[in-house]
Amino acid sequence: MFQVLLHLARGLEGQFALVSLFAFLSTGADHMQPLVDRLAINAIVGGGAKPREQTIESLLTSVGLLFLLSPDFSQN
């Protein structure tokens, strides 16, 4: 079955490479979301030792990253 798919894909190497690249980047973005969540939680809960400006900056950064990594953002 795999050989049949390879035969059908001949001549479409460029499109296959582009789709593979986007799939790879999407997987990486999915793995970044827990780190962004952690950054947001640390900015809110653990912000006692940080200056207020740094807490607001890290919170805005995490919200922006969550917006970019959101699956709904790519569908609209």
DSSP for 38-53, written as a single string: HHHHHHHHSGGGS-HH
Q: What is the phi-psi region of residue 63: left when phi exceeds 0, alpha when psi lies from -120 to 50, beta otherwise?
A: alpha
- Look at residue 72 in the predicted model and tell me its pLDDT: 61
Three-state DSSP state, 54: helix
pTM: 0.43
> Which tens digit of pLDDT belongs to each residue from 42-65?
767 765 556 666 777 777 887 787
Distance (Å) of CA 41 to CA 34, 48, 68: 10, 12, 18
User: What's the rounded mean pLDDT across residues 34-49?
Assistant: 72
- Specify the residue for token string 């990253």: 65
pLDDT of residue 14: 84
In the predicted structure, residue 6 carries a pLDDT above the cut 70? yes
Helix (H) or strand (E) holding 14: helix 13-45
Residue 57, pLDDT score: 79
